[in-house]
Amino acid sequence: MASSVTSTSAPASKDRSAQPFDRSTLEQTLTKRFFYAPAFSLYGGVAGLYDYGPPGTALQTNIISQWRQHFVLEEDMLELDCTIMTPAEVLRTSGHVEKFADWMCKDLKTGDIFRADHLVEAVLEARLIGDQQARDAESGTTSVSAETQVKEDDSKAKKKKKKGKVVAVKLDDAVKAEYSSTLAQIDNYSGSELGEIIQKYGIKAPETGNDVSPPVEFNLMFESSIGPTGHLKGYLRPETAQGQFLNFKRLLEFNNDRMPFASAQIGKSFRNEISPRSGLLRVREFTMAEIEHFVDPDNKTHPGFARVRDTTLRLLPASVQLGGKTEVTEMSIGEAVDQGIVDNETLGYFLARIHQFLIKIGINGSRLRFRQHMKNEMAHYACDCWDAEIHTSYGWIECVGCADRSAYDLTVHAAKTKEKLVVREALPEPRVTDRTVVEVNKKVFGPRLKKSAKVVEDALMAMSEAELESLRKALDQADGVEVKGTDGQGYKVDKEMVEVKRITVTEHVREYTPNVIEPSFGIGRILYALLEHAWWVRAGSEARGVLSFPIAVAPVKCLVQPLSNHSSFTPLVQEMASLLRSSGIPAKVDTSSASVGKAYARNDELGTSLAVTVDFQSVKDRTVTLRERDSTEQVRESVEEVVKILGSLVRGEKEWSDIRAEYPLFTQQATE
């Protein structure tokens, strides 16, 4: 007679809030299961560089696969794979050589380096915590020691920023309000403004109490050289975007000259972070997925906007932040565009699609917000930008940026290369317009400027209509006007050398430089945020951690294991694994000597969605058990039926609730 044991079935195990989140426990699990680890650890490691292990690699691959399906395939985008090494001239033209920088300051005695905004944040946040502790002690709601350290585990967790000591000191209400207002606007300050804040509030190095230097700019690009001579300077790309812009003409032609269209690219980028911390959140080498949506500047409507206009987002506009507040407003993207909070339909469309993607892969919607960039924070190329920020134990983390880059990139590359990066569209009817143009009197222009004539002429020809009008007025009011050449130097021109005038032009073809809407995804940051959002511990057992990934991104979809090492199980285990793999379902076979319960626990920590167990009953009648990770519920069906069930779950055709409604739950495992 066969004996049996009752399988684990605990309704309380579904309660994800039963145990408070503990980052150190999650990070221990990630290390133990080799999701990722510091690179070159045998040599002491290098800050900001990480290697992904098998489950981390599979998780990242699945996130990218979902991204490609959600954006590239569903939106019919043109995917590229451009080079990483980039000539310095390209990035000088794009503005990265001059402007791609963060502000850093230094401990004047130890030489420790800090990112200035992170330093200000750390110290002011610590003071606000100390104020709250002092107020609690005063009211008798809690007791505090004279000095406590910010709660953290330095040996187990790398930090986003160096924390200051929390001293229980009550602040004046006005000072407290100042600190809160400063923190709300922290991303909006220039280097000089950060320096003023450091001086005003007496901010010191958190660990030593030493004075720090005034903030200075630090360019974040990795410099290199191309070729054996070292004469051709280059950089590892800081973003994937430039390759897409430089291939615009080819992309437009490939798309049969149709507008609008989007290109996309997934690949490595590099940023020489000042002080990389917080694991995958601030690293020096990372995977990006970027979209460049080319659109008519006079028509930023989107044909798909009606499908998403009712999508509700949690928005934090720049106007709210400038008021010293961080409260989000929930509204539909349609309302946000109608009210001018989000600039245009195309930008709004992508904000909604970003939201849908993040929810699909498992991000908690209540811990997701879209924050608008303030003016000083805006990238040099952007005219409007929103970040999808995800809340983690490190605070709100920017994971996706969605910027309206206007026509900046195509314009500057066209001016530098003298190659027109424009769209030409036949007009239904001829259009008569007045236009301001500049004409050069070469008989005078060349002899006066000599070798500099070309750089000045190129600069004049690249001027916009508004710039030409300003030049015309200036020439009318003075004998000579200084014009900056394409070499950056100033040159004097007068009416004898150039004439700026209005002319009437009949146009049969409209020529324009497209604007670009750019969603830019930091895959590593999204992956880490997902790990935190997916992690929980079963009630009643602190040792039983679970990573509840959606099945679409789970590193392994299904575990296949025998009840024991009995030889009679082997053929069916191998057959089951083969059937799953041939059906396109990633399956992992576990034939270790661990008990079934330990194998379940190990795979719960890996985020494995489902588990098939072959037991003695299986040998008799070819039925197996199928266990669902989060609920621990099981069904028992034939091998063929279980393969069918698994296929429907992996393809997203059904959810576990559908399976438990269609099949009886199983509660006993045959052990003999």
Q: Flag whether 337 is in a domain.
A: yes
Asked whether residue 400 falls in the same domain as residue 277, the answer is yes
SS (H, E, C) 351-387: HHHHHHHHHHCCCCHHHEEEEECCHHHCCCCCCEEEE
Q: Is the peptide bond before 87 cis (omega within 30 degrees of 0)?
A: no
Q: Flag whether 345 is in a domain.
A: yes
Could you tell me what percentage of the chain is helix, strand and coil, using 3-state DSSP and rounding each to the nearest 5?
40, 25, 35
Whether the predicted pLDDT of 7 surpasses 50: no
What is the rounded distance in angstroms from the CA atom of residue 623 to the CA atom of residue 663?
13
Whether the predicted pLDDT of 571 surpasses 50: yes
DSSP bridge partners of 506: 432
Whether the predicted pLDDT of 546 surpasses 70: yes
- Give, for 288, the enclosing helix (H) or strand (E): strand 285-295
How does residue 671 score in pLDDT terms, banded at 50, 70 and 90?
Answer: low
Q: Between 173-184 and 116-139, two packed helices, what is the crossing angle to 10 degrees?
A: 140
Q: Flag whether 154 is in a domain.
A: yes
Q: In the chain, what is the straight-line distance between the N-terminal and C-terminal CA atoms, in Å? A: 8
Asked whether residue 555 falls in the same domain as residue 649, the answer is yes
Asked whether residue 401 falls in the same domain as residue 474, the answer is no
The domain boundary residue, chosen from 182, 197, 219: 219
Q: C-alpha angle with apex 642: 639 to 646, nearest 5 degrees?
A: 140
The 10s digit of each residue's pLDDT in 12-45 is: 345 676 678 899 999 999 999 999 999 999 999 9
What is the rounded distance in angstroms from the CA atom of residue 155 to the CA atom of residue 135?
31
Alpha-helical runs (H) found in 510-584: 523-534, 570-582
Q: What is the number of domains present in the chain?
A: 4
What is the rounded distance in angstroms from the CA atom of residue 469 to the CA atom of residue 315?
40
- Give, for 56, the enclosing helix (H) or strand (E): helix 54-67
Q: Flag whether 473 is in a domain.
A: yes
Asked whether residue 361 falls in the same domain as residue 473, the answer is no
Q: Flag whether 26 is in a domain.
A: no
Strand-pair category, 623-628 with 610-614 = antiparallel
Asked whether residue 320 falls in the same domain as residue 463, the answer is no
What is the rounded distance in angstroms from the CA atom of residue 362 to the CA atom of residue 482?
57
Whether the predicted pLDDT of 347 surpasses 60: yes
Lowest-confidence region among 236-245, 303-312, 593-602: 593-602
Residue 193: both structure tokens together: 């403004």
Helix (H, G, I), strand (E, B) or coil at 483: strand
Residue 441: both structure tokens together: 């009197």
Per-residue confidence (pLDDT) for residue 650, from 0 to 100: 95
Phi-psi region of 41 (alpha: psi -120 to 50; beta: other; left: phi over 0): alpha
The dihedrals phi and psi of 633, each to the nearest 5 degrees, come to -75, 155
Q: Flag whether 556 is in a domain.
A: yes
Q: What is the domain-level CATH number for residue 579?
A: 3.40.50.800
Please name which of 365, 390, 366, 362 lies closest in space to residue 553, comparing C-alpha atoms.
362
Asked whether residue 109 falls in the same domain as residue 89, the answer is no
The 10s digit of each residue's pLDDT in 89-101 is: 999 999 888 878 8
Whether the predicted pLDDT of 48 surpasses 50: yes
| Better-scored residue on pLDDT, 12 or 355 | 355
Q: What is the domain-level CATH number for residue 348?
A: 3.30.930.10
The 10s digit of each residue's pLDDT in 429-458 is: 998 989 899 999 999 999 999 999 999 998
Kindly report the average pLDDT of the chain as a whole number. 89
Asked whether residue 115 falls in the same domain as residue 172, the answer is yes
Percent of the chain residues past pLDDT 70, beyond the cut? 92
How does residue 4 score in pLDDT terms, banded at 50, 70 and 90?
Answer: very low
Helix (H, G, I), strand (E, B) or coil at 507: strand
What is the rounded distance in angstroms from the CA atom of residue 68 to the CA atom of residue 109?
49
Whether the predicted pLDDT of 205 surpasses 70: yes
How does residue 560 score in pLDDT terms, banded at 50, 70 and 90?
Answer: very high
Whether the predicted pLDDT of 222 surpasses 80: yes
Q: C-alpha angle with apex 143: 141 to 146, nearest 5 degrees?
A: 140
- Identify the residue whose tokens are 């070309």: 454
How does residue 150 score in pLDDT terms, banded at 50, 70 and 90?
Answer: very low
What is the rounded distance in angstroms from the CA atom of residue 99 to the CA atom of residue 218?
9
Whether the predicted pLDDT of 540 surpasses 60: yes
Q: Give the mean pLDDT of 112-133.
A: 89
Asked whether residue 211 falls in the same domain as residue 238, the answer is no
The domain boundary residue, chosen from 219, 245, 275: 219
Determine if the pTM surpasses 0.85. Answer: no
Q: Give the mean pLDDT of 312-329.
A: 94
Q: Are 618 and 573 in contact (CB under 8 A)?
A: no
What is the rounded distance in angstroms from the CA atom of residue 614 to the CA atom of residue 623?
8
Please name which of 220, 226, 241 lies closest in space to residue 98, comparing C-alpha atoms.
220
Please name which of 230, 302, 220, 225 lies closest in space to residue 259, comparing C-alpha atoms.
302
Q: Give the mean pLDDT of 209-233.
A: 90
What is the rounded distance in angstroms from the CA atom of residue 441 to the CA atom of residue 454?
13
Whether the predicted pLDDT of 414 surpasses 50: yes
- Identify the residue whose tokens are 């930023």: 300
Per-residue confidence (pLDDT) for residue 156, from 0 to 100: 35
Please name which of 508, 614, 609 lies closest in space to residue 550, comparing C-alpha atoms.
609
Whether the predicted pLDDT of 160 surpasses 70: no
How does residue 627 score in pLDDT terms, banded at 50, 70 and 90?
Answer: very high
Label residue 426 exposed, middle or buried (CB < 10 Å: 0-12, 13-18, 19+).
exposed
Torsional sign, CA 459, 460, 461, 466: positive
Asked whether residue 381 falls in the same domain as residue 446, the answer is no
Q: What is the domain-level CATH number for residue 500?
A: 3.30.720
What is the rounded distance in angstroms from the CA atom of residue 417 to the CA atom of residue 369?
40
The 10s digit of each residue's pLDDT in 466-518 is: 899 999 999 988 888 999 988 888 999 999 999 999 999 898 999 999 999 99
Q: Flag whether 537 is in a domain.
A: no
Q: Are 272 and 284 in contact (CB under 8 A)?
A: yes
Asked whether residue 549 falls in the same domain as residue 653, the answer is yes
Q: Flag whether 309 is in a domain.
A: yes
How does residue 1 score in pLDDT terms, banded at 50, 70 and 90?
Answer: very low
What is the rounded distance in angstroms from the CA atom of residue 617 to the CA atom of residue 625?
10
Asked whether residue 379 falls in the same domain as residue 447, the answer is no
Asked whether residue 351 falls in the same domain as residue 499, the answer is no
Q: Whole domain around residue 122: which residue ranges?
A: 102-219
Q: What is the domain-level CATH number for residue 211?
A: 3.30.40.230
Distance of alpha carbon 470 from its chain centroid, rounded? Answer: 41
Sequence-distant contacts of 379-382: CB under 8 A, at least 24 apart = 379/403, 380/95, 380/99, 380/408, 381/94, 381/95, 381/405, 381/406, 381/408, 381/409, 382/406, 382/408
The 10s digit of each residue's pLDDT in 270-315 is: 999 888 878 999 999 999 999 999 999 999 999 999 999 999 999 9
Whether the predicted pLDDT of 378 surpasses 80: no
Lowest-confidence region among 192-206, 619-633, 643-657: 192-206
The domain boundary residue, chosen from 219, 238, 253: 219
What is the rounded distance in angstroms from the CA atom of residue 666 to the CA atom of residue 635?
5
